[in-house]
Structure 1
Amino acid sequence: MKALTIKKVEFFMTGDSNAHRPRWAKYLNDIFTTNTICRITTEDDYVGIGGTITYAEERFDPSMMETGILYVPGLIGKSALDREAIWTWMAQRPTLVPLPAMSMIDIALWDLVGKYAKLPIYQLLGASRDQIYSYASTPLFDTNKEYIEYIETCIAEGFTAIKIHPYTIYEEDVILVDEIQELFAGKIKFMLDPDAQYSREEAYKMCKKLEKYDWVWFEAPIPDRDLEGYHYLTQHSHVPISCGGNTLTSLMDINNGIKAGAWTDVRADVTVSGGFTPMKKIVALAQANNMRCEIQSWGATLTQAANLHMMLACNNCTYFEQAFPYEPFEIGAKTVIRTDKEGYVHAPDGYGLGIEMDWDEIERITLKKYDSSTY
């Protein structure tokens, strides 16, 4: 029998009804965060894990677990060593929203191989470094005063950059950006992410302001699919621009955006774009076009870890996205990823993802569970 032959697949749909529900835009109601975890056990008793996050208003989202279950019959008996073949097989299945569900499975397969090879995933991919600067990624606040207090806290924590999720109302965001610039120019770097809520005209005006203020980048100013609008912005501004990374997620989508001249930077996520298997190609595609691939990592610890390993395996990503405050994103994890006083995050210790889960806590917050061995 081939090593790492899959004998069991489990899914845990988790959500904490008592958890804080951070939003990232004013138009959203309270967000229910569902962390769906895939756990794969092999015939030789290796265990690999992967996860993906989904967000919804009013209730938890079962879609990733239900989609993941559709792949299980074809996974049993395959070897985690054959990740490219497995990924291609999953991509050929007639599921409606495949990539995030494929992501958690693919990540679990890479975790298995890392443990089998006794290597962390970033070294398995080809390590470029073992630490990277992080930026604090804000939740939505109700007032400018709260943003200012948050920035002051981040500076005290050691962060060297902060990405602002503003109100997503242009007139209010302009006032916020001006106040932040006046108070903190030269003290810390900033990025802006209005969650694709601006018109082309508003995005252009904000571009010119951020260009003047020398902010690091402008993320998701307009809807991701407005490639023509993005192209106009990149041609008429010097501030780096990327899409949001949640709509155009496949290798082909990103290739089309690059060919359209839509962005200066690529933005993608291991847990959304299909896992490590396609993500390493997305990173290489960006590099082939002399572009940064600024990988997002907002989410639970498993989401953070997968994206951190990808960042550490490449040299065209400059920052780790650190959801801060930390605690709401660490539920169910014994291993956590936090920024040090010099502004860096470091590779987790251990093989594979290097993340140890608190399975008793996971069971406590599990809303629905699937175990292939019981079917």
Structure 2
Amino acid sequence: MKITHVEVHRIDVPAASPPFRWRDGLSGSAPVGDGAVLHIGTDEGAEGVSVFARPGAYSTLRDLVDRVFRAELVGADPFQREWLWHRVWELDRIHELPLPTLGLIDIALWDLAGRYHGEPVWRLLGGFREAIPAYASTSTFSSVAEFLDVADQCLALGYRGIKLHAWGDARRDAELCLALRDHVGPDVPLMYDGSAGFDLPDAIRLGRALSEADYLWYEEPIREFSISAYQRLAEAVDVPLLVAETSDGAHMNAADFIRAGAATFGVRAGTTLRGGITGAMRTAHLADAFRLRAEVHGSDIPNHHLCMAISNTTYYESLVTSVNVVRERHVDDQGLVHAPAGPGIALPLDFGYGNELLPFVEQPR
């Protein structure tokens, strides 16, 4: 079997309704925007797709396919995913590919393989579980009272834990984190994501409040360029750190965080920022060798498959962006997400997405 065509299709990414925001300094949800589907086909009719929905996705991906990817892919064996994954990294050396594009070919090839074999991708990856608990991962709300009300709704709907994306103010965020612990009691798992909003002194200040409130993990308080800053943070706070979400280098970069003692809870794994499914699985196996967690980042469909394949992940991340909480369609009333049943990754092939695209798209943050 050989790859015969590589196409990019433009799609409209529907806006979140209602719109939402992240911490101060970051943009919120985008209006209806420009997205792209990467479509890989073969001489035997097997095909696979992946979705790219960041701002400017279509023009970025069309340029990369026309200028770089198509020449590499046409004529290649679509089942040689390892070879093609390494080729993308070789190409990155010269072209400095945008981080979310590093895994798009890999995701489409895994989708193709699953469709060809009539199996969901999580089973091709080995299959570890058929259900996983979901936590509610909030966007940023206006007040402590709103956060507490959202938390009550999430727990009533069955969510097994709550992760905060707050305002990016160390003092104010610490007060929120302590208030939420007091509100929900000692037994609800709580997490905090700083979306890289702090320097080291403020990250330490906030981390000590999270330690006091017994948060399960402390995620990305500092931009992930300085591993030494994370090493010092790990030495200064007791709350476990979940690291290496947005840093380049997939498992290679995660290894340096682990070696430095900065990954005291674990590292992030996910298809969007860790080099697709292959990169995420490498990251998970690396972390497992050190008896650390590899928490899957994002609630899109490829990451749904990852959650079922990785032994050392704890939860499915389910985004909650409204003060009127509606449980994500994949989460049942017991707070569980069940394994996909369809072949491949089960992304639509006809590109008639409309509002049905939203479950397949991870929101940047």
Task: Report the TM range for the smaller structure's normalisation.
Answer: 0.7 to 0.9
What residue is the counterpart of 2:341 in the other structure? 349
Q: Which runs of 5+ in 2 are unaligned?
A: 323-327, 358-365
What residue is the counterpart of 1:259 in the other structure? 259
Question: 1:110-163 CA distances to partner (integer Å, 9 max, x unpaired)?
Answer: 000011111111111111111111111111112222212211111121101011
Question: 1:22-44 CA distances to partner (integer Å, 9 max, x unpaired)?
Answer: 32212224442654321222222
What is the CA–CA distance in structure 2 between the aligned matches of 1:102 and 1:86, rounded to whole Å? 11
What residue is the counterpart of 2:60 in the other structure? 63
User: 1:185-200 counterparts in 2 under 5 A?
Assistant: 185-186=185-186, 188-200=188-200
What is the CA–CA distance in structure 2 between the aligned matches of 1:360 and 1:117, rounded to whole Å? 25
What is the CA–CA distance in structure 2 between the aligned matches of 1:308 and 1:18, rounded to whole Å? 20
Letter in 2 for 1:266: V
What residue is the counterpart of 1:45 in the other structure? 45
> Taking every aligned residue pair, what percent have the same amino acid on both sides?
27
What residue is the counterpart of 1:164 in the other structure? 164
Residue 14 of structure 2 contacts residue 355 of structure 2 at CA under 8 Å; is this kept in 1?
no
1:140 aligned counterpart, secondary structure: coil
What residue is the counterpart of 1:290 in the other structure? 291
What residue is the counterpart of 2:332 in the other structure? 340
Residue 13 of structure 1 contacts residue 36 of structure 1 at CA under 8 Å; is this kept in 2?
yes
Question: 1:64-85 CA distances to partner (integer Å, 9 max, x unpaired)?
Answer: 4433443122212222111111
1:237 deviation in Å?
2.9
Residue 4 of structure 2 contacts residue 74 of structure 2 at CA under 8 Å; is this kept in 1?
yes
1:218 aligned counterpart, secondary structure: strand
Residue 11 of structure 1 contacts residue 38 of structure 1 at CA under 8 Å; is this kept in 2?
yes
What residue is the counterpart of 2:106 in the other structure? 106
Residue 305 of structure 1 contacts residue 337 of structure 1 at CA under 8 Å; is this kept in 2?
no
**Does residue 276 in structure 1 map to residue 272 in structure 2?**
no
What is the CA–CA distance in structure 2 between the aligned matches of 1:99 and 1:29, rounded to whole Å? 18
Letter in 1 for 2:5: K
1:282 deviation in Å?
1.1
Among 22, 26, 29, the alignment partner of 1:28 is 26
What is the CA–CA distance in structure 1 between the aligned matches of 2:80 and 2:35, rounded to whole Å? 26
Q: Which runs of 5+ in 1 are unaligned?
A: 299-303, 327-335, 366-375
TM-score normalized with structure 2 length: 0.86
Residue 10 of structure 2 contacts residue 34 of structure 2 at CA under 8 Å; is this kept in 1?
no
1:14 deviation in Å?
3.5
What is the CA–CA distance in structure 2 between the aligned matches of 1:219 and 1:128, rounded to whole Å? 25
1:5 deviation in Å?
3.1
What residue is the counterpart of 2:313 in the other structure? 317
What residue is the counterpart of 2:181 in the other structure? 181
2:252 aligned counterpart, secondary structure: helix
What is the CA–CA distance in structure 1 between the aligned matches of 2:16 and 2:313, rounded to whole Å? 35
TM-score normalized with structure 1 length: 0.84
1:19 deviation in Å?
5.5
Residue 14 of structure 2 contacts residue 354 of structure 2 at CA under 8 Å; is this kept in 1?
no
**Does residue 307 in structure 1 map to residue 303 in structure 2?**
yes
Among 79, 82, 86, the alignment partner of 2:80 is 82
What is the CA–CA distance in structure 1 between the aligned matches of 2:280 and 2:312, rounded to whole Å? 13
What residue is the counterpart of 2:222 in the other structure? 222
What residue is the counterpart of 1:361 in the other structure? 353
2:123 aligned counterpart, secondary structure: helix
Q: Which moved more, 1:7-16 or 1:142-151?
A: 7-16
Change over 3 Å in CA distance of 1:172–1:340 after alignment to 2: same
Residue 113 of structure 1 contacts residue 352 of structure 1 at CA under 8 Å; is this kept in 2?
yes
1:338 deviation in Å?
1.9
Change over 3 Å in CA distance of 1:269–1:62 after alignment to 2: farther
Equivalent residue pairs, number: 347
What is the CA–CA distance in structure 1 between the aligned matches of 2:278 and 2:260, rounded to whole Å? 24
What is the CA–CA distance in structure 2 between the aligned matches of 1:364 and 1:250, rounded to whole Å? 30
Change over 3 Å in CA distance of 1:244–1:53 after alignment to 2: farther
What residue is the counterpart of 1:92 in the other structure? 90
1:92 aligned counterpart, secondary structure: helix
